[in-house]
């Protein structure tokens, strides 16, 4: 089955979805810009009403649940936070994909994006990694044909190195609206899974 088919959420109603929040494990990284994927995953976990647990041999924390209204739009979803550190995300994601039998196009990576202004969202299927180590690892492991919810964090100021910028906590001005933006990114991931990429893009690509 081609990518076009599996991205139409009406073609495989029984196939699960895997939403992966990308980040680094541990409290030292919790509020880093690079960890916004974990933040979105935590919001989605609260909505599903579950708690993350270790996923067997896969180096990740997961929650299984369902999202969407009762009926044909209700989706089986696995939420995941890889515990391997960002640049090794591909291994845990591939292990979860294989264990839960998730089509690659039913995988949604939620991640920070330097080339988008803070809080702005862009959703897409496939494409390059734009230097993002988590995406680079995932693409190396399973190819590029998975969905992305890209959360803008903007470029570093002045001569600050990118690595320093992404591994710093959100600034005080950014934190004022961070909860709203993270919640909106969770809405976008849900919309993508329930209603498809085109609808999610028209609603959330701002």
Active site residues: 34
**CA torsion, ordered 172, 177, 178, 183, to nearest 10 deg:** 170
Strands 107-113 and 53-54: unpaired
Please report the DSSP string for 32-88 in residue order. BGGGHHHHHHHHHHHHHT---EE-TTSSEEEEEEEESSSSTT-EEEEEEEESS-GGG
Identify whether the C-beta of residue 78 lies closer than 8 Å to the C-beta of residue 16: yes
Identify whether the C-beta of residue 144 lies closer than 8 Å to the C-beta of residue 103: no
């Amino acid at each position: 089955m081609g990518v076009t088919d599996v991205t139409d959420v009406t073609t495989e109603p029984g196939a699960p979805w895997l939403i992966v929040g990308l980040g680094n494990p541990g409290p030292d990284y919790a509020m880093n810009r690079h960890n916004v994927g974990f933040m979105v995953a935590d919001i989605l976990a609260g909505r599903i009403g579950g708690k993350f647990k270790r996923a067997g041999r896969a180096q990740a924390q997961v929650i299984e649940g369902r999202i969407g209204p009762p009926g044909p739009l209700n989706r089986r979803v696995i939420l995941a936070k890889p515990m391997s550190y960002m640049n090794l995300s591909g291994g845990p994601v591939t292990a979860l994909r294989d264990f839960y039998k998730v089509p690659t196009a039913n995988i949604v990576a939620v991640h920070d994006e330097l080339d988008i202004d803070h809080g702005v969202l862009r959703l897409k299927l496939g494409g390059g990694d734009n230097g993002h180590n988590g995406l680079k690892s995932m693409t190396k492991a399973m190819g590029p044909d998975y969905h992305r919810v890209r959360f803008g964090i903007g470029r570093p100021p002045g001569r600050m190195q990118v690595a320093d910028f992404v591994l710093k906590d959100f600034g005080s001005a950014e934190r004022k609206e961070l909860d709203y933006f993270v919640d909106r990114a969770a809405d976008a991931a849900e919309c993508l899974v329930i209603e498809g990429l085109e609808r999610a893009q028209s609603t959330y690509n701002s």
